[in-house]
Amino acid sequence: MNKSPKFSPEVRERAVRMVQEHRADYSSLWAAIESIAPKIGCVPQTLNDWVKKAEVDSGQRPGTTRRMHSASRNLNARSRNCAGPTTF
């Protein structure tokens, strides 16, 4: 079952930007996320995931960026196509 994205990339970017801009107004990152998530129409955990991914992509948090992940998937797919069928 494929899940279609409920939120456009623009909405996600705006929500992450709101959290980053208002982070200092709250006692914690989670408090900022809990306040902003209902305004966007998502649950706090979803917004937290978006914030974490944005931090990884910008180099503020260690991890595999979306760009690197996509490149790795493409390389693996090409590798499988080149290998041909496996016979035993």
Asked if 62 contacts 56 with a C-beta cutoff of 8 angstroms, the reply is yes
CATH number for position 24: 1.10.10.10
The confidence score (pLDDT) of residue 34 equals 97
Task: Give residue 55's domain range.
Answer: 9-70
The model's pTM is 0.66
Rounded-to-integer distance, Cα 23 and Cα 20, Å: 5
Considering its fold, how many domains does the chain have in total? 1
Q: Is residue 60 situated within a structural domain?
A: yes
Residue 17 lies in a domain: yes
pLDDT recorded at residue 11: 95
1-15, 28-42, 72-86: segment of lowest average pLDDT? 72-86
Asked whether residue 29 is assigned to any structural domain, the reply reads: yes
Task: Determine the Cα angle at 67 with ends 14 and 81, to 5°.
Answer: 140
Specify if 30 maps to a domain: yes
Helix (H, G, I), strand (E, B) or coil at 11: helix
Does any domain span residue 48?
A: yes
Does 78 map to a domain?
Answer: no
CB neighbour list of residue 16: distance below 8 Å, 6 or more residues apart? 47, 50, 51, 54
